Structure 1
Amino acid sequence: MVEKRWNYKKLPSSEIVDTLSKELGVSYEIATLLGQRGVGTFDEAKHFFRPSLSDLYDPFLMADMTIAVERLSKAVEQNEKILIYGDYDVDGTTSVAMFYGFLQKYIHQNIEFYIPDRYAEGYGVSQKGIEYAAENGFALIVSLDCGIKSIDKVAWAKEHGVDFIICDHHRPGDELPDAVAVLDPKREDCLYPFKELTGCGVGFKLLQAYCQVKDIDVNLLLPYLDLVVTSISCDIVPIVGENRVLAFYGLQQLNTNPRTGLKALIKSASLEGKMDITKVVFGLGPRINAAGRIRHAYDAVDLMLSEDEQKAEEFARVIGQHNTDRKGLDSSITAEALEMIAQNSDLVAAKSTVLFNEAWHKGVIGIVASRCIEKYHRPTIILTESHGNAAGSARSVPGFDVYDAIEECSEHLIQFGGHTFAAGLTLELNQIENFKRKFEEVVSRKILQEQLSPLIEIDLALPLSAITDKFHRIMSQMSPFGPQNMTPVFVSHKVQLYGAPIKMKEKHLKFQAFQEGSAAFTCVGFGMVEDFFDKLLEVQTCSICYTIEINEWQGKKSFQLMLKDIKFE
């Protein structure tokens, strides 16, 4: 077992905690949680607890937005053919469903959408896609969640009479494509105040801007926020600022009146109770992604655009089958990857993992990279053969920028792109060993020793007696939880067991715990039997690290502490 590091977040000043506690009438613990999230005044608390659509920024603060709206307006007025082009992951497919769905319903019918085939065309704007546009008389392509590095493809399209509006959120290279408009908050010359929108979020801002100029009721856009929150959840972007507002109203839409396709997907995934970010990430995301991984992402877009309940349920069933197939591939390839590491002492001792197997399924290599990090906590790249080259997915560990590390190895690559914690790359097969060596050298030089062991970020130490209905109710209103506003994590010290621990399915741990003067709380630790069961039989007290959930059983609700780690005094 790799011992986890407990890192306590910085506590706000006692002045801030006192002020918030008095002005809001909340406990010191709640005031501390708010202070840690950048809330310091009554007004800031009001904005935090009650996000408002009026808090959204003016879309015209984004570079090229005026030009983008003008070009889109021209296409609509002259009835030009528009191709809505998106990537095959959750962000790309939700972007296409939102943009195509809104345009087609309210603005312009002379449109189609296009999703590249993951295996035949690969990531981003493809040659086949732009050739399809040129051959079929499309005057404009709106690319969503891709295009920021497609310099050659955009130039080719322009030469063949096809204009581009790019809506992307990935980091640009040194040069921007020669598109009519490039909407990307991460452009160095873009003054847009919020930099962490998803591709779907950038597309939403373009539609918002178009509605403002054309005097279209912006409220017509709100039903599409269930797609925006799906992209925000699954692309693991910070849920602060504008994303917090979009996610808050997106979850409202998802819980009160979701589109037919997402409703069918929720039913197919057997998701019960109120939808939150976690349920979207683990319940809806893998299913939407599975369409592009196993067959084609058109299945996912068709589902999200479907307004017929029966058809939507059939699409959801097909996608559910894709997801089952994906899980089988994911499990078998992960087992092979972990075996490759275990059998090679150099790989076990390395600071990074780079594995290649030509037979591995390209659709699940990103998931396999994440699974390997669960076992060996370090930057990981999984490669497979694709079109005569090696194609790979990279995943990182908290605090380490894997994109920058890959960029330092660019002499061995054909192309790469992505974010701080996740990236994609393509290289020639004869460059794999060179790349492995260089990547290991870069990671070894840059990574800090502590980044090589799992980190748990802890909000504060909490006496169990502080866990009350009121405490949990107010804490729950801090949602939606996600990156930079994570579900609060607590530690309680000198905890005693009430009775003996029990095993669930031989893997999971369950016990009752209390502190002096507190009630007993049910504690559940998934996959923790091997590491902790025997020790708990031997000790009298321990420290537990956990999040708080409500468990409902036979109509009765009770608190349940979901364990993240246990330490023994």
Structure 2
Amino acid sequence: MPTFFFFHVLIYTNHMATKHWVIRLFPEDEMQAVFSDEPSIVQRLLWRQDIRTREAADIFLSPDYALHTHDPFLLKDMERAVSRIGHAIRSNEKIIIFGDYDADGICGSVVFHDFFRAVDFSNFQNYIPHRYEEGYGLKMRHIEEFASGGAKLLITIDCGVTNYKEIERAGELGVDVIVIDHHIVPPQWPPAYAIIDYKHPDDAYPSKYLSGAGLAFKVVQGILVRGTWPVTLEWSKWLLDVVAIAGVADMVPILGENRVLVHYGLKVLSRARRAGLKELYRTQRMGVNPTITSDTIGFTIAPRINAASRMGHATTGFEFLTTESSEEARWLVTRLEGENEDRKKLVEEICIELKKEIAKLPELPSVFYFGKKEWLPGVLGIAATRLVEEYGRSAFLYGGAPDHMKGSCRTASGINAVEVMRACADTLLEFGGHQAAGGFSLEEKNVGVFGHKLREVVARELDNPQPVEIVLEAELHAGDVTWEAFNTVERFQPFGQENKKPLFLLRDAEVVSAQVFGSGGKHLRLGLADSARTVSALKFNAPREWMDVVAVGAHVDAVVSFDLNEWNGNRELRLRLEDIRLS
């Protein structure tokens, strides 16, 4: 008989949240029959990824760039896009690269910037709009400005697919538009010269998981294949560092071709050929050619790039990735560091306010809807993510923009953010995004009516909201936290959407040390021990409730993941704490 494990623990219950820990069902005999040469944890993680054959396991665990990436011309409209860009270069037509202000749009803009520079084409302009003053996507004034400035070709990256009227106007003014986007399909596709978006109903591209920067990379590949240029197709691999940043930062599933591109992009990131990255690694004491993982992107690189647009202008993040000057890199990294610190403080203040409001509620609603004119819209996506993670409820948050309200949302329980907003479209000025994340804007007078309609729509989608469920892969003890175990789990890198870093149940560990650190003592470092060894475990932005659990001498159960701390050539194996309770 197959052996199955099912562990269900209520960690804490109050009027705010209930969390369940569940160890994933695992048919041991079935997986052992196929993967007898692999350790149990590898079998479990393959099962998690729905991998049942040796061939599929080899593809997943050993990505091969030559074998596991696809012909760019399988994308609809690729031939037209490549031909038009090639013609513009050869004719020295002015090209505008219009990128979104987030990490994906910035990185996609860098892809074209680097390519044009490499082929000695200079008649181009990178344009990234101001998050607050201009907002998301193309505006009519952009089109008029670009046309009057002599532009003949406009390339949008990580935006554009919803800009029907603006693209129609560009055509009237003699500006061809190529849309490179991966957002959810709008009701009416824009009349662009070419649309590169695998979500187009007529698109048959094999991989449905690429960022905007990933699609920009495929277009550059196509251009290099179709013409004779100063650089070769092989050169394009150096662009994979920014493709990897976008693939992780934009929460694109780390599956299929995206997994391959991120895998090789991590290697390019380790080489740090960009002056900005070299300086960032230096200031973070990461050493020369450090090990770069998806965590490095998620916790170190991407937050600083995104902080540029959240707290200032996205061009700082763009310049950080494109500067060739060491002196300028030092200035840019210092500025990004300051903006990131300001962003963290602001998010913390908003989250404290939100928790106070939630504590007043008699019970958890099916969806959180909060806002204040004083809140900075650019940081609300981070705050919404924290609410989803802690409470298991979708969150729609808004703040004040110059002449309207602007917000971000994150959804839980499989709710489609875009479809929810589409159902409320008559109360919104604009909206867009992905399955589980999006943005919206609305007039101040519609704040109440949107909230009412939002609650109705989500209630219909979700009749019975479920508690937060934390899915674990296996049980371990402090003595199991070894380099061998770490290296085994690391075979599944890069981690990210649809391939989350695996979580484990650390059972009955004794707290032998407890230390708070960071500004305001908001981070927590524990020493957790059993009879075999003591291991360090960290939680950044630890919930205040945890302080009642972590007294020295207490025995605890904890949800943990493996973590590598690398600085100045040193390497420390430790754990990241995700949740904790008394044993």
Match in the other structure for 2:9: none
1:392 and 2:404 are equivalent in the alignment = no
Count of residue pairs brought into register by the alignment: 558
How far 1:155 moved relative to its partner?
Answer: 0.4
Alpha-carbon distance between aligned partners in 1 of 2:567 and 2:78, rounded to the nearest angstrom = 51
Match in the other structure for 2:162: 149
Match in the other structure for 2:35: 20
Do 2:549 and 2:581's aligned partners in 1 also have CA atoms closer than 8 Å?
A: no
Alpha-carbon distance between aligned partners in 2 of 1:412 and 1:435, rounded to the nearest angstrom = 6
Match in the other structure for 1:237: 252
| SS at 1:4 equivalent | strand
Do 1:390 and 1:426's aligned partners in 2 also have CA atoms closer than 8 Å?
A: yes
Matches within 5 A, 1:96-115: 96-106=109-119, 108-115=121-128
The one-letter code of the counterpart of 1:316 is V
Q: Structure 1 residues 561 and 121, CA, compared in 2 at 3 Å: closer, same or farther?
A: closer
How far 1:353 moved relative to its partner?
Answer: 1.8
Alpha-carbon distance between aligned partners in 1 of 2:132 and 2:565, rounded to the nearest angstrom = 43
Of 350, 356, 362, which residue of structure 1 is paired with 2:365? 350
How far 1:56 moved relative to its partner?
Answer: 0.6
Match in the other structure for 1:219: 234
1:56 and 2:69 are equivalent in the alignment = yes
Alpha-carbon distance between aligned partners in 2 of 1:299 and 1:51, rounded to the nearest angstrom = 33
Matches within 5 A, 1:412-561: 412-447=427-462, 449-451=464-466, 453-462=467-476, 467-493=481-507, 495-497=508-510, 500=512, 502-505=514-517, 508=524, 510-514=526-530, 519-522=532-535, 524=537, 526=539, 531=545, 543-550=557-564, 559-561=573-575
Do 2:406 and 2:441's aligned partners in 1 also have CA atoms closer than 8 Å?
A: yes
Alpha-carbon distance between aligned partners in 1 of 2:137 and 2:297, rounded to the nearest angstrom = 24
Of 423, 426, 433, which residue of structure 2 is paired with 1:411? 426
Of 290, 310, 333, which residue of structure 1 is paired with 2:307? 290
How far 1:32 moved relative to its partner?
Answer: 2.5
Residues 334-367 of structure 1, C-alpha deviations (whole Å, 9 max, x = no match): 3344444445x47x64222222322222332222
Alpha-carbon distance between aligned partners in 2 of 1:549 and 1:556, rounded to the nearest angstrom = 14
Q: Structure 1 residues 533 and 430, CA, compared in 2 at 3 Å: closer, same or farther?
A: closer
| SS at 1:16 equivalent | helix
1:136 and 2:149 are equivalent in the alignment = yes
Match in the other structure for 1:198: 211
Do 1:359 and 1:385's aligned partners in 2 also have CA atoms closer than 8 Å?
A: yes
How far 1:303 moved relative to its partner?
Answer: 2.0
Do 1:547 and 1:563's aligned partners in 2 also have CA atoms closer than 8 Å?
A: yes
Alpha-carbon distance between aligned partners in 1 of 2:567 and 2:277, rounded to the nearest angstrom = 27
Residues 303-361 of structure 1, C-alpha deviations (whole Å, 9 max, x = no match): 21111111122222222222233333333333344444445x47x64222222322222
Q: Structure 1 residues 474 and 131, CA, compared in 2 at 3 Å: closer, same or farther?
A: same
Match in the other structure for 1:255: 270
Residues 454-490 of structure 1, C-alpha deviations (whole Å, 9 max, x = no match): 3212122346665544333232122111112222212
Alpha-carbon distance between aligned partners in 1 of 2:365 and 2:473, rounded to the nearest angstrom = 32
Deviates further, 269-278 or 101-110: 269-278
Alpha-carbon distance between aligned partners in 1 of 2:572 and 2:158, rounded to the nearest angstrom = 42
Alpha-carbon distance between aligned partners in 2 of 1:288 and 1:332, rounded to the nearest angstrom = 21
Match in the other structure for 1:91: 104
Q: Structure 1 residues 538 and 367, CA, compared in 2 at 3 Å: closer, same or farther?
A: closer
Match in the other structure for 2:343: 326
The one-letter code of the counterpart of 1:394 is C
Do 2:506 and 2:557's aligned partners in 1 also have CA atoms closer than 8 Å?
A: yes
Match in the other structure for 1:37: 49
Deviates further, 370-379 or 213-222: 370-379
Do 1:356 and 1:382's aligned partners in 2 also have CA atoms closer than 8 Å?
A: yes
Q: Structure 1 residues 351 and 211, CA, compared in 2 at 3 Å: closer, same or farther?
A: same
Alpha-carbon distance between aligned partners in 1 of 2:86 and 2:544, rounded to the nearest angstrom = 62
Matches within 5 A, 1:112-127: 112-127=125-140
Of 417, 431, 442, which residue of structure 2 is paired with 1:402? 417
Q: Structure 1 residues 186 and 556, CA, compared in 2 at 3 Å: closer, same or farther?
A: closer
Match in the other structure for 2:578: 564
Match in the other structure for 2:178: 165
Q: Structure 1 residues 80 and 60, CA, compared in 2 at 3 Å: closer, same or farther?
A: same
* TM-score w.r.t. length of structure 1: 0.90
Q: Structure 1 residues 9 and 208, CA, compared in 2 at 3 Å: closer, same or farther?
A: farther
| SS at 2:116 equivalent | helix
Alpha-carbon distance between aligned partners in 1 of 2:299 and 2:172, rounded to the nearest angstrom = 43
Residues 29-83 of structure 1, C-alpha deviations (whole Å, 9 max, x = no match): 3223223324334433332232111111111111111111111122122221111
The one-letter code of the counterpart of 1:183 is I
Match in the other structure for 2:3: none
Do 1:268 and 1:317's aligned partners in 2 also have CA atoms closer than 8 Å?
A: no
* TM-score w.r.t. length of structure 2: 0.88
Alpha-carbon distance between aligned partners in 2 of 1:429 and 1:372, rounded to the nearest angstrom = 23
The one-letter code of the counterpart of 1:522 is V
Do 1:116 and 1:126's aligned partners in 2 also have CA atoms closer than 8 Å?
A: no
Q: Structure 1 residues 320 and 548, CA, compared in 2 at 3 Å: closer, same or farther?
A: closer
Do 2:481 and 2:535's aligned partners in 1 also have CA atoms closer than 8 Å?
A: no
Alpha-carbon distance between aligned partners in 2 of 1:65 and 1:246, rounded to the nearest angstrom = 19
Do 1:365 and 1:382's aligned partners in 2 also have CA atoms closer than 8 Å?
A: yes
How far 1:274 moved relative to its partner?
Answer: 2.0
The one-letter code of the counterpart of 2:295 is T
Do 1:229 and 1:247's aligned partners in 2 also have CA atoms closer than 8 Å?
A: yes
Q: Structure 1 residues 91 and 539, CA, compared in 2 at 3 Å: closer, same or farther?
A: same
| SS at 1:457 equivalent | strand
How far 1:534 moved relative to its partner?
Answer: 5.2
Residues 408-427 of structure 1, C-alpha deviations (whole Å, 9 max, x = no match): 21121122100112111122
Q: Structure 1 residues 83 and 462, CA, compared in 2 at 3 Å: closer, same or farther?
A: same
Q: Structure 1 residues 496 and 84, CA, compared in 2 at 3 Å: closer, same or farther?
A: closer
Alpha-carbon distance between aligned partners in 2 of 1:204 and 1:553, rounded to the nearest angstrom = 32
How far 1:438 moved relative to its partner?
Answer: 0.8
Q: Structure 1 residues 565 and 149, CA, compared in 2 at 3 Å: closer, same or farther?
A: same
Q: Structure 1 residues 10 and 69, CA, compared in 2 at 3 Å: closer, same or farther?
A: farther
Q: Structure 1 residues 416 and 271, CA, compared in 2 at 3 Å: closer, same or farther?
A: farther
CA RMSD of aligned residues (A): 2.8
| SS at 1:189 equivalent | coil
Q: Structure 1 residues 349 and 475, CA, compared in 2 at 3 Å: closer, same or farther?
A: closer
Percent identity reads: 31
Residues 152-200 of structure 1, C-alpha deviations (whole Å, 9 max, x = no match): 1100111111110000010121111000001101112211111121110
The one-letter code of the counterpart of 1:114 is Y
| SS at 2:55 equivalent | helix
Do 2:207 and 2:257's aligned partners in 1 also have CA atoms closer than 8 Å?
A: yes
Alpha-carbon distance between aligned partners in 1 of 2:154 and 2:334, rounded to the nearest angstrom = 31
How far 1:11 moved relative to its partner?
Answer: 2.3
Structure 1 unaligned residues grouped into runs of 5+:
none
Q: Structure 1 residues 425 and 471, CA, compared in 2 at 3 Å: closer, same or farther?
A: same
| SS at 2:87 equivalent | helix
How far 1:257 moved relative to its partner?
Answer: 3.5
Residues 372-426 of structure 1, C-alpha deviations (whole Å, 9 max, x = no match): 4455442111212324222111122353322222222112112210011211112
